[in-house]
Structure 1
């Protein structure tokens, strides 16, 4: 029986030549081959990252409009007409701070490169420049013609392979990947807190209006006030549930060192998982500190134990394999 390396069907006829590169379709034994991070996994993009997807742009605009609507109702319907100055100042400061952090996190999640693999670098000349040893194999994505590192997946919306891709979220018009997962987690957390805070204020405002004259508890007419508060209550409840679930799911993915796509495809066990606390520190950019909650601080990139990106060999599904034949 032939070894896994020999169970290949070569596309070109350079199999017998040592050091030549061939493209094949085969099943390789699972193995991790460290290759320099600079030549394979570093992003080729520069400047601002933005996905030109109509659905994603519409969803992102809707997100901002909903936050602005909540801001309008909280400030002009509930806080400004209030007779308690301390109540208005404290709640206004808390709400606006959370809303600002939520929008800042959304902007960072949307405009940060999630970990895109350089596009179109899977050329014969480039593969030869990597100086791989005979028998080593790297993945080639046939959709974006990129050398595909370990734990990277192709996104049909971004049209790129994304390192440690969890999913593509239309609400942030971007993939959630290695470089922007922190900002997505912060976005879901702050939106959940804003929603909870607005719901609490709506309840207190209803109680206040029932005890007092409805014409004095708001600058708007009683019917308009009720409609605005009910819509805010519905929005807050809906987004509180949605973002709380997403926040819990993302934290669980970080702690288990397993993305949503990897869990869906059953790709667990193909890499050495990090402990929960170590994975949290890597995702949020270092030891526990206030910077974990800030969307304005950066984060470290994932590396293996040797400080390199790992190119994984394993079962090939809709991917080309570039292999250095054995002599």
Structure 2
């Protein structure tokens, strides 16, 4: 029976002769890491991140100044404005945290002879070494060619947040997809209600009282918003469902793609959720400003 390419790669990594610590430079001083914000200087990723913020602000502009500012029902305008602005703020805050949070990078260049000896490995015990960033990496870590680092429990690299989705920022990425899906759905509902009101007033083509903008501009802005909302609703809803499925099954996207063998202990789906969002369950699960507090939950144990 032939082994899969992924298993052959892992078999190579498990060979003791695969480690060449003499080729590695000493690791950089760890004192320089604290206080430095994590940010990936990737041109494509930065452009995608700017586009994301631009599209959210465009939706904000159309919702507020085209559909809500011509106040005909103050309760309707105030309620929908507060809900949409609140969700948009949480979406952008989640995006910022996902982009500027270290996803779980393994110290670079630590596969030195001195460091390996300090591990006090048992006879026959093997370690993983990444030949690209010259680091000893824990189990379930993978190298990202964009970040140029090994990331613990790496799910994938997302250009829309200009960062990897890994152990430390998966919560923020999931919240980002959830809030974007919610504001997209909310925007689509408001556009439908806006057109319905215009039809009732018999001013669909020339909604004189439905907007402070000219009729052609109003129609174009609403159509563009509808297209954006539908596209991002489908995309982020699918991504949110995929992420939740991966979290509940404790299997990252890369592990599913490579069909890697489960060598870690299985836990309940509820425990897997708490390991990402925090322990115990609270409203802080939905806050991008709250760092997950694992409490008494058992963290993943990585083997090096």
Residue equivalent to 1:269: 262
Larger radius of gyration: 1
Q: Is the 8 A contact 1:44 1:116 kept in 2?
A: no
1:20-46: per-residue Cα shift (whole Å, max 9, x none)? xx95049xxxxxxxxxxxx9xx99843
Q: Provide the aligned C-alpha RMSD in A.
A: 2.5
Structure-1-length-normalised TM-score: 0.80
- After the TM superposition, which segments of 4 or more aligned residues of structure 1 sit over 3 Å from their partners? 42-45, 300-305
Distance 1:43 1:92, change over 3 A: farther
Q: List alignment gaps of at least 5 residues for structure 1.
A: 1-7, 10-21, 27-38, 313-327
1:137-176: per-residue Cα shift (whole Å, max 9, x none)? 1011000011110100000000000000000000000000
Residue equivalent to 1:238: 231
Larger strand share, 1 or 2: 1
Residue equivalent to 1:322: none
Residue equivalent to 1:12: none
Deviation at 1:92, TM superposition (A): 0.2
Deviation at 1:106, TM superposition (A): 0.3
Q: Tell me how far apart the structure 2 counterparts of residues 123 and 151 of structure 1 sit (CA, whole Å).
A: 21
Q: Tell me how far apart the structure 2 counterparts of residues 300 and 135 of structure 1 sit (CA, whole Å).
A: 36
| Correspondent of 1:96 among 74, 85, 91 | 85
Distance 1:271 1:43, change over 3 A: farther
* Structural mapping, 1:5-84, within 5 Å: 24-25=17-18, 45-46=33-34, 47-84=36-73
Aligned residues: 278
Q: Is the 8 A contact 1:43 1:118 kept in 2?
A: no
Larger helix share, 1 or 2: 2
1:194-235: per-residue Cα shift (whole Å, max 9, x none)? 000000000000111222241111011111100000000000
Q: List alignment gaps of at least 5 residues for structure 2.
A: 1-10, 20-26
Q: Is the 8 A contact 2:280 2:295 kept in 1?
A: no
Deviation at 1:310, TM superposition (A): 2.4
Residue equivalent to 2:218: 225
